[in-house]
Amino acid sequence: MPELIIRPRVDSDLDACVSAMAEVHSTDQYPTNWPDNPIRWLTPDGLLASWVAESDGAIVGHVALQHGHGASTVPAVIEAAGVEPAALASVARLLVVPAVRRQGVAAALMDALGEEAARRGLRLALDTVGHAPAAMAFYERTGWRRVVSETAPWTRPDGSAVIKHYYLESPTG
């Protein structure tokens, strides 16, 4: 793989991020349900920061740091984190295009996000869906601890239930 650059996402990256997201959705059904407004999905409420992974001029990955939404609002996650809700933030919108997986892209994106969370004094949480075993394996392999699982209040396009798994970063970050 050519040199990998992890950098803050800028607005002019959004169209390329949507293209990368479409590749991931086609392969993994992530996001589970394609959003009506993909750019809005990539810029969720509570967005604190976001990064892209760039290789050979192409966006090959994305991740965002989000506050006040997602896993950081689940009571069992807040309780397990042992911090005030204001000190908990979520990893959001992590995606890596299939062609560059298992080459350290997700880890590099998570490192950038983790550094920013630490700088802000935030503990990290995240959620993933049960039909994403590779994502769950990555999180568990990199030290994340599953706290709770539950049925999501929404379904897959075929109407089947979605199981969400909530994780906390390891105490050492």
Q: Is the pLDDT of residue 82 over 70?
A: yes
Expressed as residue numbers, the domain containing 14 is 4-125
Number of structural domains found in the chain: 1
Distance CA 38, CA 49 (A): 17
Dihedral pair phi/psi, residue 86, rounded to 5°: -65, -15
24 falls within a domain: yes
Taking only the tens place, the pLDDT of each residue in 137-155 is 999 999 999 999 999 999 9
Q: Count the residues in the chain.
A: 173
Give the pLDDT score at 173.
47
Nearby residues of 18 by Cβ (< 8 Å), 6 or more positions away: 38, 39, 42
76 falls within a domain: yes
117 falls within a domain: yes
Taking only the tens place, the pLDDT of each residue in 15-26 is 999 999 999 999
For residue 94, the domain's CATH number is: 3.40.630.30
